[in-house]
Amino acid sequence: EAPPEGGGNLRASIGGWFNKAVSHVSEVFAPEVEDAPPPKKQLSGRAYFRKGQRKAEKCEFLKAVALYNLALVRQREELDEDHVDCATTLNEIGVCWMMLGERYPAMTAFEEALYIRQKKLGVGAMETAETTSNIWQVLHEERSEDEQMVDLIE
């Protein structure tokens, strides 16, 4: 297509050519809408949590941590940043890290779980006591390891 006679509007002419080119390229290279796979349905926080539990039961703790983290992200989107279910997931993340021998990430997860559980359930709740016990275990293991190091040095 040639530009309009008599000088015309060059920008409109170039824009028309550009739009035609884009349209042509799209028709040739873009996949048909019918051939495109349907968008993947996102799993809920509860579904990711259950998958994490199954991995943890099989002692696949690193995979469990990954699934629990996905669950936590979803739960915070679906429920609330400080929902009790988030605290449960954080507690399970801490347990997995503890089983992997990673005390620092375990403590981080337990501390956040404890904060939520104390805030939402109170200090006397069974779930709060569970997380407190988990924190004690991490600290006790660390202390025992420190004592063994002192024995080796002496």
Q: Is-above-0.85 flag for pTM? A: no
The encoded tokens of residue 80 equal: 């609330």
Q: What is the pLDDT of residue 34?
A: 56
The pLDDT-based confidence of 123 (bands split at 50, 70, 90) is very high
Can you give the pLDDT at residue 141?
83
Q: How confident is the model at residue 51 (pLDDT cuts 50, 70, 90)?
A: very high
For every residue of 40-109, which 3-state class applies, written as one string? CCCCCHHHHHHHHHHHHHCCCHHHHHHHHHHHHHHHHHHCCCCCHHHHHHHHHHHHHHHHCCCHHHHHHH
Q: Is the pLDDT of residue 125 over 80?
A: yes
